[in-house]
């Protein structure tokens, strides 16, 4: 087991003191001022329903769209109010994510001690939200090769999640140079309570990541825990850290797991030599 985590941020400390759950609809977004106008519902024992301006993080601003319904955590500041922990409210999307999560839970229970998926088995079905708050399912990538791992944005250990993300970026660039245009990269958060779509968006943006074929996923914690179980990743909180094992997994165009490495020392070449080139159809090494 390896540890990585972070100390509570100022926002976390303020959240421990209070803050209010808010549900509303986006009226307008001002990226330059980093604010959004929200028509929110009544906040019981605190504030009636009204239209208000909130300061919004850069990552969340990229997720918000006019007319979008959302829920988030509201905090009072010296300059007004800010909104954090923003999640989309979309009945259709929530139904897809909920149904997929329930099916994944049932599958994990049925598989029991055999929940772990071996080489040759298929990637489990799931539905999560990406860094743009869109719903993502494996069928979206059918016919594509996938390299998948698990990270979380607050990881402070440069040898863990930051290193894994850097190697995924190197793999993305190298595959592009070789003309491998059917590759998708996926990083699933280990910390869904904190890693909202907006946080993941900011994480990718701050690193200059091209998200055209690199998705960062989050969603209900039970679904992520079931995915971790089926893909052989262990994690638990300890002394303010998240201690976890590592897994970087290659899935072929038919959705089958064909290779994995469980260390932080992997190199992009390990996956490049197993990726199918568009002009040929070579047998991959085992």
pLDDT at 5: 44
Mean pLDDT of 80-88: 96
Please write the tens of the pLDDT for every residue from 10-55.
Answer: 444 443 366 999 999 999 999 999 999 999 999 998 999 999 999 9
State the Cα–Cα distance between residues 130 and 200, nearest whole angstrom.
8
Please write the tens of the pLDDT for every residue from 205-229.
Answer: 999 999 999 999 999 999 999 999 9
Looking at residue 86, the DSSP 8-state letter turns out to be E
Please report which confidence band the pLDDT of residue 276 belongs to, taking 50, 70 and 90 as the band edges. confident
Who wins on pLDDT, 123 or 12? 123
Q: Report the greatest alpha carbon distance in the chain.
A: 66
State the Cα–Cα distance between residues 71 and 25, nearest whole angstrom.
9
Helix (H) or strand (E) holding 17: helix 10-17
**Cβ contact 38:83 at 8 Å:** yes
Residue carrying structure tokens 């923003």: 86
State the Cα–Cα distance between residues 214 and 146, nearest whole angstrom.
10
pLDDT at 124: 96
- Checking if the pLDDT of 236 tops 80, the result is no
pLDDT at 157: 80
Q: State the sign of the Cα–Cα–Cα–Cα dihedral 248, 2, 211, 191.
A: positive
pLDDT at 3: 46
- Checking if the pLDDT of 190 tops 50, the result is yes
pTM value surpassing 0.85 = yes
Query: Residue 260 forms beta bridges with which residues?
Result: 249
């Amino acid at each position: 087991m390896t540890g990585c985590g972070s100390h509570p941020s100022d926002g976390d400390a303020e959240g421990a003191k209070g803050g209010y759950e808010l549900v509303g609809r986006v009226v307008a977004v001002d990226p330059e001022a980093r604010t959004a106008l929200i028509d929110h519902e009544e906040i019981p024992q605190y504030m009636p329903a009204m239209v208000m301006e909130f300061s919004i993080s850069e990552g969340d601003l990229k997720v918000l769209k006019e007319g979008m319904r959302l829920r988030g955590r509201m905090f009072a500041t010296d300059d007004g109010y800010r909104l954090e922990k923003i999640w989309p409210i979309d009945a259709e999307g929530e139904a897809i994510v909920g149904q997929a999560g329930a099916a994944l839970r049932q599958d994990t229970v049925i598989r029991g001690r055999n929940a772990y998926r071996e080489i040759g088995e298929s990637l489990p079905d799931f539905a999560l939200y990406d860094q743009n708050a869109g719903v993502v399912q494996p069928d979206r990538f059918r016919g594509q090769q996938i390299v998948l791992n698990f990270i979380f944005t607050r990881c402070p250990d440069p040898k863990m999640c930051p290193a894994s993300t850097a190697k995924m970026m190197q793999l993305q660039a190298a595959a592009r140079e070789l003309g491998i245009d059917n590759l998708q990269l996926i990083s699933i958060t280990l910390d869904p309570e904190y890693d909202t779509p907006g946080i993941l968006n900011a994480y990718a943006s701050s690193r200059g990541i091209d998200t055209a074929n690199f998705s960062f996923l989050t969603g209900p914690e039970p679904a992520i825990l079931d995915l971790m179980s089926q893909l052989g990743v262990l994690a638990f909180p300890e002394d303010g850290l998240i201690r976890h094992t590592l897994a970087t997994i290659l899935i072929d165009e038919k959705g089958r797991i064909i290779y994995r490495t469980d260390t932080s020392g992997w190199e992009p070449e390990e996956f490049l030599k197993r990726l199918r080139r568009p002009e040929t159809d070579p047998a991959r090494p085992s």
